[in-house]
Structure 1
């Protein structure tokens, strides 16, 4: 899922990052020789991961994946974006393309976002679907804690609703640009029945680059292919943000 939506929304630097920051588009006007702050912000990201995990499940068949996205936000809090990743075969497609838009902001020290997202699998058969995402986070000491939610309503490719909930946290390691991060998620509905997933890891940022290493696992033990791709694993990633 999109880098930066909510946990498992395929990403996981949150969409709030693009709502509250980003690379500015050139100012459309100049006033008294001073640059006018642009109303729109454009940002992009590109990643390589050793295993594309979404809510604990490997969508790349435990193989490496290449990912990237572009986001455009407005100072009103509105944003749109797209994100893509290579994946293992899904209904005849080897590509996931996420298209999303939403609104984010901050109130009483709580950062929040609400996102409508469509997962598209070019060339795939009956695998596209729609999800509504919500995210909220706040500072706690030098770190932050938050909650994410994903709801897939009944639609052509889903026999019923599917709900995902996750609690997440992040703690910086003193003065060095490194952080410990983790989450615990719960999913129940048409896709998985009472599935738990969890992740704990370390990230390090320097300039536009962020490297991370994490341990991912689930309680899902199905004998099907999804069960095999739900087993514990270590995931390494390198992301460039622009």
Structure 2
């Protein structure tokens, strides 16, 4: 399942146009289209592996307008283990965001998480976040879930239904030598099972922009509840935008 970025590969970084090039592109055409591809040694989403601690190949296509509107799609292989036959995740998303002043900005998002070869696993959420300088905080609310009727489903599997809330905060800092540091934390408040599924997680990433060769990252994630896999996860990633 996809993180909040809107794209799930945001944690491994992405290439960005310079401010001058971006302003020039806006002057010529308010519309822009980009594609991205990435490889990760473990697909982590909100602290939990989506590939049974194995590698994933991911990619997406994005549209953006100078007004702040954006939309796109993103896909990744997944493996939920224990005989689950779900093979891939397909996300569809749209959003709107903008700057309030030089230090503050906001973003609104709508994401649909689809698992076409799974049964009753799709869900959708709406999110809002704000950024002040290098700190971003936000919340996402699940307003639709195919698994809303969780009768007969084990407590540890009945996640992502209407009413779930996810809170998150992150900080991003530029370092010397074209390095960047990102630290993050989140808390999942599940509606089902009266809090028995709720958990907190945290992590950090160090990434480096290698120009035409993309962006490379070293990452750490961990969950803070022993009813889940609470072992620390260390993984590497590569991402490139076109």
2:50 aligned residue: 59
1:96 aligned residue: 89
1:12 aligned residue: 10
**Alpha carbons 2:3, 2:46 under 8 Å: kept:** no
The answer for unaligned runs of 5 or more in structure 2 is 149-160
Give matches, 1:14-29, under 5 Å.
none
1:212 aligned residue: 217
**Alpha carbons 2:140, 2:166 under 8 Å: kept:** yes
- Runs of 4+ aligned structure 1 residues displaced above 4 Å come to 1-4
2:71 aligned residue: 80
Please give the alpha-carbon distance, in whole angstroms, between the structure 2 residues aligned to 1:46 and 1:66: 8
State the Cα distance separating 1:39 from its structure 2 match: 1.4
Q: Which has the higher strand share?
A: 1
1:137-187 deviation per Cα after TM superposition (whole angstroms, max 9, x unaligned)? 122xxxx1111321112543235411111110111113x210111111111
1:186-236 deviation per Cα after TM superposition (whole angstroms, max 9, x unaligned)? 1111367331100012111121411110111011222xxxx23x5311010
2:127 aligned residue: 133
**Alpha carbons 2:123, 2:144 under 8 Å: kept:** no
The two structures have a TM-score, normalised by structure 2, of 0.80
2:29 aligned residue: 38
1:236 aligned residue: 236
Please give the alpha-carbon distance, in whole angstroms, between the structure 1 residues aligned to 2:97 and 2:27: 23
**Alpha carbons 1:4, 1:11 under 8 Å: kept:** no
Judge which range, 130-139 or 183-192, deviates more: 183-192
The two structures have a TM-score, normalised by structure 1, of 0.80
More RCO (CA 8 Å, sep 6+): 2
1:5-37 deviation per Cα after TM superposition (whole angstroms, max 9, x unaligned)? 25xx624359xx99x98x98xx9xxxxxxx961
Please give the alpha-carbon distance, in whole angstroms, between the structure 1 residues aligned to 2:3 and 2:31: 19
Judge which range, 150-159 or 192-201, deviates more: 150-159
1:172 equivalent to 2:174? Answer: yes
Please give the alpha-carbon distance, in whole angstroms, between the structure 2 residues aligned to 1:4 and 1:44: 18
RMSD over equivalenced CA pairs, Å: 3.0
Please give the alpha-carbon distance, in whole angstroms, between the structure 2 residues aligned to 1:210 and 1:168: 19
Q: Which has the higher helix share?
A: 2
Judge which range, 150-159 or 52-61, deviates more: 150-159
